[in-house]
């Protein structure tokens, strides 16, 4: 084995700028509706009128009388924000698609209604087991 480095091929130069680096990206994953909705959701979270739409986990506690109505109001706020802030995917999306993305985003953070319904004091419980134990 020779230690002669002159025989090794040189490596190509690394891209100098971010634009050059982006040109080298191998996967062409583009921004999705979920990405837009997550970004907007995080920005709107501090708005009490938006935040309270996600608080209820029981129908009788909903702001507009049903989960569907609350989800639609939240989706309208998301789309309005997207249109004001030039987020092209969410601004052109149908409300139903935005509602679906909101559900995805809420699951990412563990704040979806189904997950929260299964918590007691912040701890997950198996509802079937708790009913069996109560019967004994």
Query: 6-38: per-residue pLDDT in tens?
Result: 677 777 787 888 888 877 777 667 889 999 999
- Residue 3: its pLDDT value, please? 67
Query: 32-58: per-residue pLDDT in tens?
Result: 999 999 999 999 999 999 999 999 988
Query: 104-114: per-residue pLDDT in tens?
Result: 999 999 888 88
- Residue 55: its pLDDT value, please? 92
Average pLDDT in the 75-84 region? 98
Q: Which of 62, 65, 46, 44 is nearest to 54 (CA)?
A: 62
Q: Which residues of 66-98 are buried (b: 16+ CB within 10 A; e: fewer)?
A: ebeebbbbbbebbbebbeeeebebbbebeeebb
* pTM for the whole structure: 0.71
Q: Domain segments of the chain: what residues?
A: 29-135
- Residue 116: its pLDDT value, please? 83
Tell me what the pLDDT averaged over the chain comes to: 85
SS3 of residue 102 by DSSP: helix
- Residue 10's CB is within 10 A of a number of other CB atoms, namely 6
């Amino acid at each position: 084995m020779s230690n002669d480095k002159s025989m090794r091929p040189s490596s190509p130069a690394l891209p100098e700028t971010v634009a050059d680096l982006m040109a080298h990206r191998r996967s062409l994953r583009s921004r999705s509706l979920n990405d837009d909705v997550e970004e907007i959701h995080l920005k709107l979270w501090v708005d009490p009128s938006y935040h309270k739409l996600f608080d209820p986990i029981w129908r009788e506690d909903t702001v507009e009388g049903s989960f569907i109505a609350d989800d639609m109001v939240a989706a309208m706020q998301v789309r309005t924000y997207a249109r004001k802030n030039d987020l092209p995917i969410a601004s052109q999306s149908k409300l139903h698609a935005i509602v679906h993305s909101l559900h995805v985003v809420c699951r990412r953070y563990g704040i979806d209604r189904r997950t929260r319904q299964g918590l007691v004091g912040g701890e997950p419980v198996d509802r079937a087991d708790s009913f069996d134990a109560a019967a004994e």
